[in-house]
Amino acid sequence: MASFLRTASCARPCISRSIARPSSRIAIPSITAVRHRQMASAAATATISDAVEQPFFPDEPAGPIVKTAIPGPKSIEAIERLSKVFDTRSLNMMTNYEQSFGNYIADLDGNVLLDVYAQIASIPVGYNNPSLLLAARSPEMASAIINRPALGNFPQHDWADILETGILKVAPKGLHQVFTGQSGSDANELAYKAAFMWKRQHQRGGAHVDFSHGEISSSMENQSPGAPQLSILSFKSGFHGRLFGSLSTTRSKPIHKLDIPAFDWPQAPFPLCKYPLDQYAAENAAEEKRCLEETERLIKDWPLPPAAIVIEPIQSEGGDNHASPNFFKGLRELTRKHNILFIVDEVQTGVGATGKFWAHEHWGLTDPPDMVTFSKKAQTAGYYFGNDELRPNRPYRQFNTWMGDPARALLFRAIIQEIERLNLVENTAMVGEYLYSGLERLAQQYPNEVKNLRGKGQGTFLAWDSPRRDEVLKKAKTVGVNVGGSGEKAVRLRPMLIFQKHHADIFLESMEKVFKA
């Protein structure tokens, strides 16, 4: 579609069209070859805003290839085999990772799709990224994999260096410590535990005050005061994970919660804003005020007093719901007023997806969150904090065998280095503006297909509502695009940080084909 595409001389100037053959295996490059590739793409760091866009990966596929229905015959055979030993009912597509590269995901039948979903917003810098391959082949990675440390008892000698040069290098402002974990759900549950221990420590009179006999004995009976009557306040339509504690704060879909016992914890309303946000500023401000008032009422009146509130900067699984910075600033003020903690769940929004490294940077807080949880694009997990009081006052209170994974922390360090090398946060902000403009034009041309477009100014973290969402997702694969959904009717975009304008052109052109159909 000509209105969305730049001239041929600017659209894909340096992309090699000698695409790796779908029927052959992608050769894992040697160290020398990887370094040559890095040199070839290094120009992109200096030319990110040039009129002629330089591709980050010159040997990336030039575009999608669709050879068969998806799944095709080879994929169907593989799925049938897998289903005998593994639950495949949530399967999106059977992936051939040896054939996937950059922004493109391949299957077993030679289909190569532009991936604007990045698995589940969890692939940061592309499939088979050469820089990550270098990190994977390093001696310290090999040691971390085969000698995986039980970090609480037997941390490896360079663990502080790995943290300081990786995870902590990108710590949110004001948060200089980290507790590492295994997954996003785990990160949130660990943060909840830290909040409860902090709250009871304050109620008890400080870290120096020992536990009473009654606390010790009642904890073994799951009774108060050892098992205190406290809660974590979350928000309607929020998603914070599928483990027991995190699941009690998840409110996005019933299928996650059915049959699972839950804590009696409060949920506050998340603002039901109108989009675009800036065009409905007055209405949205009134709605946010209503939600803040109800949040405060729950903090004061809920039978199990909250030790913390937890919230996503953009509700993702629950439908890509946005609110203004003023709403989140209001929440921060409430937590200070009522002496509870403010936990920001950046599992999906973190690591550059919104045009800032952390999405809560858009709020302009003068008082940082107490904890920020992370996972997905970080390829590891945990929570950042700054207050020493959030360290438990005794060993083994916040503990498990692994307490994270140095191998994944090393991978995150390599991801951070790649983000810095290619200026990928800046790229995401710039490409997000371009992509949003293209979607605005599609919304004007196909108003029944693109409703409530949202995410302006939030990088490539974009979404819209579709009355035939599931059909759109399915048809997108037939034109070579892998895209995802959220909530009941939202189409959500979660491209990788290496997604560029020429990828946006392909995506927009492909979506017009879907809408026309």
3-state secondary structure of 145: helix
**How many residues are given for the chain?**
517
Where is 507: in which H helix or E strand?
helix 501-516
CA distance linking residue 364 with residue 346, whole number of Å = 16
**Which residue carries 């939600």 as its tokens?**
291
**Active-site entry in 376, 377, 477, 501:** 376
**Active-site entry in 401, 470, 474, 516:** 401
Give the residues across from 150 on adjacent strands. Answer: none
DSSP line for 416-452 = HHHHHHTTHHHHHHHHHHHHHHHHHHHHHH-TTTSEE
> Phi/psi class of residue 205: alpha, beta or left (left: φ > 0; alpha: ψ in -120 to 50)?
left
345 included as an active-site residue? yes
32 included as an active-site residue? no
401 included as an active-site residue? yes
**Active-site entry in 179, 239, 412, 507:** 239
Q: What is the DSSP letter of 164?
A: H
For Cα atoms 169, 175, 177, give the angle at the middle one, nearest 5 degrees: 70
Q: What is the DSSP letter of 72?
A: -
Residues 6+ apart with CB under 8 A from 84: none
**Active-site entry in 107, 186, 345, 465:** 345
Q: What is the DSSP letter of 361?
A: G
376 included as an active-site residue? yes
Residues 6+ apart with CB under 8 A from 226: 211, 214, 215, 216, 217, 218, 219, 220
| SS3 annotation, 38-61 | HHHHHHHHHCCCCCCCCCCCCCCC
Burial 97-132 (b: 16+ CB within 10 A, else e): eebbbbbbbbbbbbbbbbbbbbbebbbbbbbbbbbb
3-state secondary structure of 409: helix
**Residue numbers annotated as active site:** 239, 345, 376, 401
